[in-house]
Structure 1
């Protein structure tokens, strides 16, 4: 016999005691929706600071090196040296947009286009170091790290394969230079400036500008170094928390929305990667955002792969914008900007279009990810070797020849 007495409402109707303990479904749904909205807002804010971090690194490097930032390109008189310089410079700055913009300015100032072509190819390789470093944030979980490191290095292997295919062809026939010249000839640029259309730069200017103001009061060298360190730290922090938030958000409807943009097929993935990178003007940022998604298992490597290819294409917008605002040989500047775009588009069409080449970067990345997960020193050796040690040795040898 129970002593429990049902609760009653004002009109005497019995109320189920359990209903007093359990919130109504509508209340739970509203609470969950509100939480999801707040988490997406948090992701957006973190992405904003991630873009700011890339700007801090670029600004810091330019401040710390001064005019030497340009001089590091000027001695690359042969294609191989140009490739290595583009790779190392972009690995240091962690922004191919910054490097290609400098190259555009150098070409406008008289650097031969033929010398600049290997540099923009190298910039593609160097920019992929950012997402490779980001993947180290998953190093504690073996399976998660294997997925994340594979997702990061698939971009590396694609860009390396693209160079292996196109650099010899360019050295033999100069076809990229010819295509870029033809495309530049279709446009007449007279005192045009599209700098005001760089919405992302304008949006991040308050944060980056304020940081530069206070840091550079300490001197260009010290302040620039602090900006670089701060930018790197900010990248790690933002990516860490973006990964955590996305793990919670990648369920239900949110996951379906992401799949509609990335996981719907290769063409959709390439287009999505291109559009997102055009908006943030940083392929490093775009591809880095994919690493936590792959690490958490929300997306497979073959779904992430086309998105990174689109990022290669989207990052060309910065050089094109820079080419419209340069002083000097504007036609040559526009030519190298179009060469950058042509190279990345052809890379996607050739490598992804030929069946036996299509998934070669994926297979290589999967093998490296599994190997690095078993031995963490492999990951460190890969990053230092591919982006710094091997290019440095090759650059030294080429300077002696």
Structure 2
């Protein structure tokens, strides 16, 4: 005899479907918002986008802007989505590349702050702080390697263009394969754009940018909350199943979990308590954090599918974000003499912070705010 399905199970199933529909709606809203930013930036600046960001033509200034913005917002997905919209509106790709690199550094602050929850137990704090900052050091080393290559050769800009070009028809300004996304978002984006631009190009453009940024905050915030409720339990299962099974499994699971919860900060923060408790060692968790870097690229790639204006450049910067994170893993983790540098640095910092708690606070303020702020001030004077 078949078992009866309880009303609570049916209700839970319906509730889950409703939540998934809300997630889909918010992702749609996110893509619309990026399109609005692109239209607004283009209208507000005309052909003066490069002049507006002249201070960030210095790549170090761009890096600092990306770092501070992400540290304050605590969401690289939000910052990279905004960057995609700005590029679609005319921000030069060369200016945006260091900003994307900075977003990678800035997003590391969340799990570092989470590790402070273990501060009362010296040994737990040492393990947790080391696990949190291994992500920081990996991203810092990645910038040290790839920013000079980008300045000298335009490596990432060229690679991003190469990866984006197959999605465009020859001579076309729209993505051939993904054009249905642009078509689907056009009614809202075009209607909003025409309505706000009735106030004039500059005023309407600024209003479009403000509205787009607000909608990105709203959509990413609520998508994150919904996906945490739907997926965090499964994400923890994936972590427990895969983290200890080798580096490839760890990277793959970190990527998958981040795609599921749409937040690398959430992914890396999930593993900090596991490290603090001693359930996993630093070398087991390290590959998982690398996968989180790759998984977080999905938001910018989604955002780039429906922008108007310079759509090819928008996809290019999204591809740059993706290729930068993949290359970082291949180079730093793939080369034996580089692989353990972030681990050793994180272990040293964890031991230092465990002995002197003020060192942990000084590290967070210094790396994410003080040093970038001073650097921005200096570069603006040059």
Please give the TM-score of this superposition, normalised by the length of structure 1: 0.67
Contact 2:115–2:129, Cα closer than 8 Å, also in 1: yes
Matched, 1:83 2:70: no
Equivalent position to 1:177, from 134, 153, 157: 157
Aligned match for 2:102, one of 122, 136, 152? 122
Q: Distance in 1 between matches of 2:89 and 2:182?
A: 19
8 Å contact from structure 2 (residues 110, 265) kept in 1: yes
Q: 1:193 aligns with which of 153, 157, 181?
A: 181
Per-residue deviation, 1:130:
0.4
1:72, distance to aligned residue in structure 2 (A): 10
Equivalent residue for 2:288?
307
For residues 124 and 321 of structure 1, the distance between their equivalents in structure 2, rounded to whole angstroms, comes to: 18
Q: Which residue of 2 aligns with 1:166?
A: 146
- Structure 1 residue 356: Cα displacement: 1.1
Residue number in structure 2 paired with 1:291: 272
Alpha-carbon distance between aligned partners in 1 of 2:273 and 2:313, rounded to the nearest angstrom: 39
The alpha carbon displacement at 1:278 in A equals 1.0
2:318 is aligned to: 337
User: How far apart, CA to CA, are the structure 2 residues paired with 1:364 and 1:314?
Assistant: 24
Distance 2:303 2:268 in 1: 22
Preserved contact between residue 72 and residue 85 of structure 1 (Cα < 8 Å): no
1:156 aligns with 2:136: yes
- Residue 83 of structure 1, CA deviation: 0.3
- 246, 249, 258: which one pairs with 1:265? 246
Aligned residues: 295
Tell me which residue corresponds to 2:334.
Answer: 353
* Structure 1: tracts of 5 or more residues without a match: 1-43, 59-66, 198-219
Residue of structure 2 equivalent to 1:108: 88
Contact 2:64 2:375 in 1 (8 A): yes
TM-score normalised per structure 2: 0.71
Provide Cα deviations, 1:65-107, integer angstroms capped at 9, x if missing partner: xx9xx99977412111000000000001101110000000010
The secondary structure found in structure 2 opposite 1:327 is coil
Deviation at 1:295, TM superposition (A): 0.6
- Verify the 8 A CA contact 1:131 1:288 in the aligned structure 2: yes
The answer to whether structure 1 residue 278 and structure 2 residue 266 are counterparts is no
Larger radius of gyration: 1
* 1:323-346 residue CA offsets vs partner (Å, 9 max, x unmatched): 002121110000000011110000
SS at structure 1 position matched to 2:326:
helix
Give the structure 2 partner of residue 63 of structure 1.
none
- Contact 2:250–2:284 (8 Å) recurs in 1: yes
Aligned-residue CA RMSD in angstroms? 3.3
Q: Check the 8 A contact 1:104/1:322 in 2, yes or no.
A: yes
- Answer yes or no: is the 8 Å Cα contact 2:242–2:249 preserved in 1: yes
1:60-71 aligned within 5 A: none
Q: 1:74 to 1:295 in 2, by over 3 A?
A: farther
Partners of 2:73 and 2:333 lie apart in 1 by 28
Q: Take 1:360 and 1:109, find their aligned partners in 2: how far apart are those partners?
A: 39
Say if 1:195 and 1:321, in contact at 8 Å, map to a contact too: no
Cα 1:311–1:73, aligned 2, differ >3 Å: closer, same or farther? farther
Is residue 322 from structure 1 mapped to residue 310 from structure 2 by the alignment? Answer: no
What is the deviation of 1:196?
8.8
User: How far apart, CA to CA, are the structure 1 residues paired with 2:81 and 2:68?
Assistant: 16
Q: Deviations over 1:144-163 (max 9, x none)?
A: 01100000000000000000
How many Å separate the matches in 2 of 1:196 and 1:331? Answer: 18
Task: Give CA-to-partner distance per residue, 1:24-70, whole Å, 9 cap, x none.
Answer: xxxxxxxxxxxxxxxxxxxx9xxx9xx9xxx9xx9xxxxxxxx9xx9
